[in-house]
A and B are shown apart, each in its own frame.
Chain A
Amino acid sequence: MSTCSNPKIGALLPAYEMGILSGEDLVAFEEHLYECAHCFEQVQEFEPVAGHILNSDKVKAGISTIPEPTPAYPAKQRKWRLAYIPVFAVVLLIVILGPWNIKIETSQDAIATANRVIIGCFEDLTGRQDGKQLTEIAAHLLANDLSESEFLQVVPASRVRGLLQMSENDNICALPDERLWDAAEQANARWIISGAVIEQDGHLGLTSTIIDITTGSSVFSQQVLGDDTDNVFSLANRLTIQIRHDMSMPDAKPSDSDILRDDVTTRSALAYKYYLDGIQFVEQMYSDEAVRAFENALLHDSTMAMAYYYLSQLKDARLINKAFEYSGDVTTRERMLIEGLRYYYMYNFDSAVAVLEKTIDRHPDEKSAYLLLASIKLSMGNTQAAEMRYLQSLEIDPYYKPALNHLAMLYGQIGEFEKAILTINRYIDVAPNEAGPYAAKGKIYADFGEIDKSIEAFETALAKKKDFPESLKMLGVLYSFKREFAKSDSAFERVIETSDFNRRVWVRLYQATMLSRQGRLDSSLVIIEKLIHMGEIEKASTHFMIEARLSRALILQAQRKYGEALEEIQFAIDRLRTDSPNMPPAYLRYKIQFLTDDHRIAEADSILEYIRGYMQQIPSLTYVYHYGLGCRELALDNASGAIEHFQRALDYRPHESMYGHFETKLMLGRAYLQSGNIEQAVDAFNDLRSSYTYFRAYWSLWDVSSHYYLGQAYEKSGWYKRAAIEYETLLQFWKDGDTNIVERQEAEKRLAVLQHQS
């Protein structure tokens, strides 16, 4: 007879058969079964018996009838609660309680874990038209208000939904009681609070019941009834004070802030409802709908700080200042999120991280804080830390869609294609009927050069939501790479139809860039100039204004109008200095490049000297410095020096996105070409084609020009056929374009020579 190949793991066999192994032990034992004939046979042989022990009611009943010796463990919970609390959701049941109080754990260590609470079902017992809306608001307000206490941790509703495998639209009140109990146990919560919105003599009221899950008892119930002056906000505030008092929380005594906090977050029920809708849209990645919802919330309450907080992320970063201005009325948790984001926008990453880590210490289930931290870590170039934060937020809520989306994007960015696709597939499992996950999948495929699969995924996203702007924008870009410009234009026009001013100008800028891809530089310039003019009048965002100026400068550079290009770039630099004084002056690299193109080396040197002086203080300028030096050396025909500096620029490039990658790779390819390192030049130029991104689309002019440089590289290495293909490709893109572009003229000449030779 065989023996176990690993007795240490083999010892887990009886526990495995009884189905009580979990986590690493379970996986380890199952993997052991693949290789250990002994254990495999044992489990197989005993399987029918184990099945009957675990599943047969008769066997279970036989065991349960055996008199139980005095237990050395606390009273059983699950059976008890199933038997005796069948109507947990009937929360209006008024439990008459004795004068005894439950005591909240107040020791420092116990605060974090012992006093966790989940908010369960809140029912509408009013029959009013807005009853459901009121219950939603009441539950949210109660969670927010209670989370203010130093002595209580409220498990966020999204975390509870995650544990219950529920979507945002599912009704928690429809669940059997035991599911909520399980969720509470998994979340390490000791208390469940549920309640109802009631109406008495025409006045609203709120009731609540607190269950201690360690004993299964309903320990308290509260009821507050309003009068003519009350609304759901004041009632929730009063209910919170009662709950705190009943639970003998050390901070139960109403403070001035409690009394004044009738207007926590907002005074308007409608504003709050729009706000809650907005959060749901954010999680679905439906940014247009989210913007509308938050703007509607602000229509009903123009001082709602958290609506500004979200709008600053969706629409215009400057709105964070409004959020900050009105943050006096929000909860501590919300204030910390606002502060963290504000520091982030100010490029004060260290302070942002400190605030958000404090938020997590205080509210360990606040998954949006992890998400924000991940974004900051990414901006700091620390992809590992960003990944860890995304994974932590997914530990809190495995169904947290924004984290799945961002994590997949991160994997895409660092070249982990399989992980990216696995994460996206998980995202699709979570939200199969939403457009977001398919658009994210399209983005991953595009990043990895699978243009047809990418288009297919974006089209699927559109089938889920026909006006999904992310899909339409990206389809506009992808079709342009395939030279299907009519389809590209049509996709962009469809975005414009449903967009506000801010997005409209961005999409128009992309359309102008697509004209550059066709070599129609003068037409592109006309559009960009109009956009700049409109942007100045309508006060478009700083980011847009700078990118529009840069786009114009790049066209002027291609037309060899260096003086005008430099003026444009100076506009961009000045605007940035005024609007975002803390942002590193990264655009100086283009100024250096245009100066060196124009052989104004001394002026370029003085800027390089200036940057060098700040490199210690602002490390991200190291990239700018080496990029600038690379351009300088290339202009001075020192190709090997240029290669070294462009390589170093790539090493120091910030990692938060494809930022700086395209132009640096192209310049590196040109330096290799100039130095005669043809193989490396070909690699660098081909590398530019390995993905289909917004960045590559943005650099359309250079992207198409790279066919000329690659053609030169092939020609120098004797691959004339390939060289001809590259020249022809460039000329195909620019067949309807301006005839005075230098690269076009050169490509025509070279192609003619090659055709003549063949």
Chain B
Amino acid sequence: MAIESIESIYKEVCDGRPGAEDRLFKALSVRFSLIARKRIWDRQDAEEIVQDALAAVFAGYKTADIRGTFITWAHMVLRHKVLNYYRSKARHDKRFAQTDQLDLVSGHFTPDPTLENELTKCMQKIVAANSMYGRILILVFQGYSAEEICERLAITKANCYTALSRARSLIKYCLKKGDIK
């Protein structure tokens, strides 16, 4: 899918080109949706945040004091919406935690059973063949950041990213072919 440059569409909007605002809206929607899903892993909540962020961007971009690029500004709007979501969720979680109803607000990730089975098999093969990747993944699951993982494994960030990149290729290959190279 080809995507248009946001900054160039924004420039067209500023120049008053007809239809440019609609294109900017669509282009931003696609980016916002992906980024919000990656931050939240809950499609429904992510979609709501995206709608909020888009509304804020299109209500404010004409009057906002955009000193850097439009992308930086728009992304900041989205980040604030995500941050607000986590804050309100934390408050919500806390309220339910006090009434022993934590399960009501647990995550909404819905697995795809087919992908789950295939991926599990592939991951087992890859981790068995590439122990560094296995170690990285275990630390990822434990919530460590990239810096912490590198520090604990005594590797550079570049090496860590390379290991993740190789594993990523293997996963894609394995899911396609059913086995690793």
Contact = CB atoms under 8 A, between A and B. Distances in A.
Interface of A: 11-22, 25, 27, 30-31, 33-35, 37, 40-41, 43-44, 46-56, 58-60, 62-66, 68-69, 71-74, 76-79, 165-166, 170, 174-176, 418, 429
Contact of A20 (B7, B138, B140): B140
A16 B167 CA distance: 14
A429 B87 CA distance: 9
A60 B119 CA distance: 10
Interface string B102-115: 00000101011001
A58 B97 contact: no
A63 B124 contact: yes
B10 to A, nearest CB: 10
A59 B119 contact: yes
B140 A13 contact: no
B2 A37 contact: yes
B58 interface: no
B172 interface: yes
Contacts of B20: none
A182 to B, nearest CB: 9
A53 B138 CA distance: 11
Interface residues of B, number: 68
Contact of B75 (A11, A27, A78, A176): A27
Nearest to B128: A66
Ranked 7 nearest A-B pairs via Cβ: A14-B164, A73-B152, A62-B120, A55-B109, A20-B146, A34-B71, A14-B165
A534 B144 CA distance: 66
Interface of B: 1-3, 5-7, 31, 34-35, 37-38, 41, 64-65, 71-72, 74-75, 79, 84, 87, 90-91, 94, 97-98, 107, 109, 111-112, 115-117, 119-121, 123-124, 127-128, 131, 134-135, 137-147, 149, 152-154, 158, 160-161, 164-165, 167-168, 171-172, 175
B155 to A, nearest CB: 9
A306 B35 CA distance: 49
Given A33-B34, A34-B74, A59-B120, 20 more contacts: A14-B168, A19-B38, A20-B144, A20-B145, A22-B146, A31-B71, A31-B75, A33-B35, A46-B168, A48-B112, A54-B141, A56-B111, A60-B141, A62-B120, A62-B123, A71-B135, A76-B142, A78-B143, A165-B94, A429-B84
Contacts of B147: 22
Contacts of A429: 84, 87
Contacts of B112: 48, 52
A13 B165 contact: yes
A52 B116 contact: yes
A34 B34 CA distance: 10
Nearest to A422: B80
Nearest to B120: A62
Contacts of A64: 138, 141
Contact of A52 (B79, B111, B127, B134): B111
A52 B161 contact: no
18 contacts: A11-B165, A15-B146, A17-B38, A17-B168, A20-B140, A27-B79, A34-B71, A49-B172, A54-B141, A58-B116, A60-B141, A63-B124, A63-B137, A66-B134, A69-B131, A72-B154, A74-B152, A78-B143
Contacts of B109: 51, 55-56
Nearest to A78: B142
Contacts of A46: 168, 172
Nearest to B117: A58
Given A14-B168, A21-B146, A31-B75, A51 B41 contact: yes
Contacts of A174: 97-98
B162 to A, nearest CB: 8
Nearest to A432: B91
